[in-house]
């Protein structure tokens, strides 16, 4: 699911999301979405989740915001993706299987890992095929309506505290995906969402792969590391640090040291991610690349805290004592 929405946070932030032609929306302009390319919203979807608001029109489907009238808990906001083409039941199954896998593996890990998954990864609530129109649909928890923007978008960082909050959530979101064995493979700026509280969600798992732990090496995660480096550079206004090469590596490392208020421990751990991205390498255990950052004092102090926003309705029994 791909959203392109202008977003203004306070008076200091401006996010710009690219349209397909790579031109930019003015964040102060209002843009009406054109639903003409979308499949009709099935009546049973409208009855349960309507009224529906069109969020975005992507290459393969349209995203609609709604509220689950039968939902449990405090967060009943949902996003419904409806495919443009028919016969996409298998794709919807795969889409939800990845999200289910992340949450199931996070449940086994328990502790902060479970909380991070429930903070940064949406839950698939329902999926299938409309029996009338035969268009596929997926219903998932809604993490926000504002995209962080594509990799080449301009981004105007705000206060250091806010930039740091988004920066660390990007690392945590990619980290929990990789720790549960999933490579996203399509982490451009339209698939990284923020809500009004700057809580970050990673969406659209249509190109994702569940890694085979029996393989000695895997390149599945390298695309995620490239995109992660680009987003991190944009978030803190480090233009020279966007490229996943030696020069970009050093530039972003310098920005982290100078602009985030990080102590020596954090840049040392962060260097491992940049090195893996630069060398197109990703270890069979991706946790070995991202996880050291979670353990730093800087991350523990300044990550906004793992709030369980997306609680999986299926039973979860984490390890005892966590």
Predicted confidence (pLDDT) at residue 162 exceeds the cutoff of 50: yes
65-107: pLDDT as tens digits? 999 998 776 678 899 999 999 988 888 889 899 999 999 999 9
What pLDDT is stored for residue 214 in this prediction?
56
Contacts of residue 285, Cβ cutoff 8 Å, sequence gap at least 6: 213
Residue entry with tokens 């208020």: 261
- Predicted TM-score (pTM) of the model is 0.80
7-47: pLDDT as tens digits? 222 222 322 222 222 222 222 233 456 788 899 999 999 99
pLDDT confidence bin for 190, thresholds 50/70/90: confident
What pLDDT is stored for residue 321 in this prediction?
55
Give the CA distances from residue 62 to residues 21, 42, 99, 185, 322, in Å, rounded to whole numbers and listed in that order. Answer: 18, 13, 19, 20, 39
Higher pLDDT, 22 or 135: 135
233-291: pLDDT as tens digits? 888 888 888 887 888 888 998 998 888 888 888 888 888 777 776 665 555 455 556 66
Mean pLDDT computed over 185-212: 85
pLDDT confidence bin for 179, thresholds 50/70/90: confident
Predicted confidence (pLDDT) at residue 149 exceeds the cutoff of 70: no
What pLDDT is stored for residue 202 in this prediction?
92
Give the CA distances from residue 205 to residues 14, 23, 99, 184, 284, in Å, rounded to whole numbers and listed in that order. Answer: 26, 25, 8, 6, 20
296-321: pLDDT as tens digits? 888 888 888 777 888 888 889 888 65
Mean pLDDT computed over 183-192: 85
pLDDT confidence bin for 218, thresholds 50/70/90: low
């Amino acid at each position: 699911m791909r959203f392109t929405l202008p977003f203004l946070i306070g008076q200091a932030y401006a996010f710009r999301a690219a349209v397909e032609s790579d031109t930019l929306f003015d964040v102060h302009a209002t843009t009406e979405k054109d639903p003409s390319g979308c499949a009709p919203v099935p009546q049973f979807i409208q009855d349960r989740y309507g009224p529906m608001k069109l969020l975005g029109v992507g290459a393969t489907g349209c995203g609609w915001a709604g509220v689950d009238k039968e939902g449990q808990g405090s967060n009943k906001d949902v996003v419904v993706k409806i495919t443009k083409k028919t016969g996409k039941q298998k794709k919807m199954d795969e889409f939800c299987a990845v999200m289910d896998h992340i949450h199931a593996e996070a449940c086994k890990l328990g502790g902060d890992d479970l909380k991070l998954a429930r903070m940064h990864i949406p839950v698939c609530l329902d999926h299938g095929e409309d029996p009338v129109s035969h268009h596929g649909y997926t219903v998932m928890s809604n993490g926000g309506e504002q995209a962080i923007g594509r990799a080449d978008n301009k981004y105007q960082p705000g206060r250091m505290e806010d930039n740091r909050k988004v920066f660390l959530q990007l690392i945590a979101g990619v980290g929990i995906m990789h720790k549960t064995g999933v490579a996203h493979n399509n982490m451009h700026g339209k698939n990284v969402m923020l809500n009004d509280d700057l809580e970050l969600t990673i969406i659209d798992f249509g190109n994702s792969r569940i890694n085979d732990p029996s393989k000695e090496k895997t390149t599945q995660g390298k695309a995620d590391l490239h995109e992660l480096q680009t987003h991190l550079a944009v978030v803190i206004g480090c233009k020279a640090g966007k490229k996943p090469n030696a020069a970009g590596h050093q530039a972003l490392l310098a920005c982290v040291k100078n602009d985030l208020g990080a102590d020596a421990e954090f840049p040392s751990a962060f260097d491992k991610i940049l090195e893996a991205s630069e060398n197109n390498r990703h270890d069979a255990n991706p946790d070995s690349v991202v996880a050291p950052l979670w353990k730093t004092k800087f991350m523990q102090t300044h990550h906004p805290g793992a709030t369980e926003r997306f609680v999986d309705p299926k039973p979860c029994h984490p390890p005892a004592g966590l």
